[in-house]
Amino acid sequence: MAATHDAEGHRTSGLIHYANGKSLEEINGTVKVPKGKGFWRTLLAYSGPGALVAVGYMDPGNWSTSITGGQNFGYLLMSVILLSSLIAMLLQYMAAKLGIVSQMDLAQAIRARTSKTLGIILWIMTELAIMATDIAEVIGAAISLYLLFGIPLMISVLITVLDVLVLLLLTKIGFRKIEALVVSLILVILFVFAYQVALSHPNWAAVFAGYLPTGETFATHPSVAGMTPLSGALGIIGATVMPHNLYLHSAISQTRKINHKDEDSIAQSVRFTTWDSNIQLSAAFVVNSLLLIMGVAVFKSGAVKDPSFFGLYDALQNGSMLSNPLLIKVAKTGILSTLFAVALLASGQNSTITGTLTGQVIMEGFIHMKMPLWMRRLVTRVISVIPVLFCVATTAGESDINQHIALNNLMNNSQVFLAFALPFSMLPLLMMTDSKVEMGNRFKNTFWVKLCGWASVIGLTFLNMISLPDAIAGFYGDHITAAQTQTAHMIAYTAIVVVLILLAWTTIELYNSNKRLAAQQNGEAE
């Protein structure tokens, strides 16, 4: 393909070219919002971006951790879901505010304040996190196609590549309609789990009591089926707080058309975008709560031996594994298991849309390279499909249960990359929204937001790091030797040192950049 050059002299091709303009330029500032109208009408105009963010908090990676946590420890870990959701609301508020006030998404802001070398390193780490999330989506979508239509797993995995055609169609209908579609799919997921939980008649007093954390919530004992309350809590936190969603929200919060020369207009945008985000994340909180309640109330205690999607699907049509006569009666019709598979497919498709947009945001922001969304999706999905195909192929001759466990382990192990990437999105986000230089006096974080933000960043980074040795050990399978455990721990501790060095590097560059900007502003003021 013949190369061309843009107006600034950057080398481009027909599909891939240099980009250093507005975040997601095709949709930036394209949605009009009313002026001087009532609260509800204005909120409706701002509603939508929060839904695209919220789907990342209820993707297939969340399902088995929440249900298994409920099976093993009852309602003990409900408080972890609540805590994770509150932290998500705080971080997403800061991400949206950064985008609206600075008119840069998080990737652009980091790249503008750090060196090219560090920007490339952070881009690679974030890409790995997106691909890790994509693996969970491939597995969820492939399994749902197998369960609903009987399509062999290998073919189902290949079919997931074709979701690029869905994306091509969506790019033609407009961003507002994409938002409406995502909200519709969220409602499908919410309905499915609410229906199944309603049939199970859970102990609501125990449910609400579970939202209060106790000393047992993060305990290292007892161990049930290889899971402790601490490891269960870390699994829920790791599956809930997604780094790429911070990049996404800082970009799509800019889709509303506002007057950036008017502080009141900016303040209104921040306010209503926060309302939208919190409402949608509350829906995600309800879904994740319902998943854990399912583990306790829908299934008999300890009944689910196979926590994979296959095992959960089978359990929902097996009366001997369900907890009350009404559930057993409905399960015989097959509706419970079918609805579960439909929700799984809806979840995977939702995450496909948001994952592609996020990939474009970080590619443009960190390395100033742009390609069509369909091409971006195709490249990422093909890379993510390879380990899933390998897993299916290598376990094809084994028993069904072994194949199911292998796929479930691949999905869980892929999430280890999120532990690496999360601090590198949270720390810059907090530092920049704390800064008067970046945000101005009116929009910089208040004392309480700053306090809660630093507690969340330090706490989540610490929890991610202490869970890393066990996460790395998980790559060796269920029957790990002492030598393999030692090797896994050495790899984990080395990785932790590397992460801490990179965090220090990032912090220093951001701090120095902030000082330079402050000096420039003071010089201009004088």
User: Is residue 504 exposed (0-12), middle (13-18) or buried (19+ Cβ within 10 Å)?
Assistant: exposed
Q: How confident is the model at residue 524 (pLDDT cuts 50, 70, 90)?
A: low
Residue listed under structure tokens 């309800």? 286
Q: Can you give the pLDDT at residue 3?
A: 44
Estimate to the nearest angstrom the gap between the alpha carbon of 251 and the chain centroid.
Answer: 15
Range with lowest mean pLDDT among 52-61, 266-275, 417-426: 52-61
DSSP per-residue string spanning 308-366: SHHHHHHHTT-GGGBSSHHHHHHHTTTHHHHHHHHHHHHHHHHHHHHHHHHHHHHHHHH
Res. 295: pLDDT tops 70: yes
More confident residue, 514 or 349: 514
Q: Can you give the pLDDT at residue 165?
A: 65
Q: How confident is the model at residue 18 (pLDDT cuts 50, 70, 90)?
A: low
How much is the average pLDDT of 199-217?
A: 87
Residue 222: asked if its preceding bond is cis (omega within 30°), the reply is: yes
Q: How confident is the model at residue 433 (pLDDT cuts 50, 70, 90)?
A: very high
Res. 404: pLDDT tops 90: no
How much is the average pLDDT of 422-446?
A: 91
Cα–Cα separations (whole angstroms), residue 164 to 147, 170, 371, 372, 375: 22, 10, 14, 11, 8
Q: Can you give the pLDDT at residue 8?
A: 44
Query: For residue 337, how many C-alpha atoms fall within 13 Å in the half-sphere facing its CB?
Result: 25
More confident residue, 224 or 89: 89
Res. 476: pLDDT tops 80: no
The mean of the pLDDT values for the chain is: 82
CB atoms within 10 A of CB 512: 12
Q: Report the CATH fold assignment for 20-421.
A: Hydantoin permease (1.10.4160)
Q: Can you give the pLDDT at residue 1?
A: 38
Res. 510: pLDDT tops 90: yes
More confident residue, 400 or 448: 448
Both tokens of residue 121?
């390193």
CB atoms within 10 A of CB 21: 12
Q: How confident is the model at residue 7 (pLDDT cuts 50, 70, 90)?
A: very low
Q: Can you give the pLDDT at residue 167?
A: 60
Q: Are 243 and 418 in contact (CB under 8 A)?
A: yes
Q: Can you give the pLDDT at residue 11?
A: 46
Which H or E run includes 170?
helix 163-173
SS3 content of the chain, % helix, strand, coil (to 5): 75, 5, 20
Listed by start position, the domains of the chain span 20-421
Amino acid at 431: M
How much is the average pLDDT of 117-142?
A: 85
Res. 268: pLDDT tops 90: yes
Res. 158: pLDDT tops 90: no
How much is the average pLDDT of 192-199?
A: 85
Question: How far is Cα 206 from Cα 112, in angstroms, rounded to an integer?
Answer: 49
Q: How confident is the model at residue 37 (pLDDT cuts 50, 70, 90)?
A: confident
Three-class HEC string of 12-50: ECCCCEECCCCCCCCCCCCEECCCCCCHHHHHHHHCCHH
Range with lowest mean pLDDT among 9-18, 48-57, 498-507, 513-522: 9-18
Q: How confident is the model at residue 166 (pLDDT cuts 50, 70, 90)?
A: low
Both tokens of residue 266?
């900016």
Three-class HEC string of 369-420: EECCHHHHHHHHHHHHHHHHHHHHHHCCCCCHHHHHHHHHHHHHHHCHHHHH
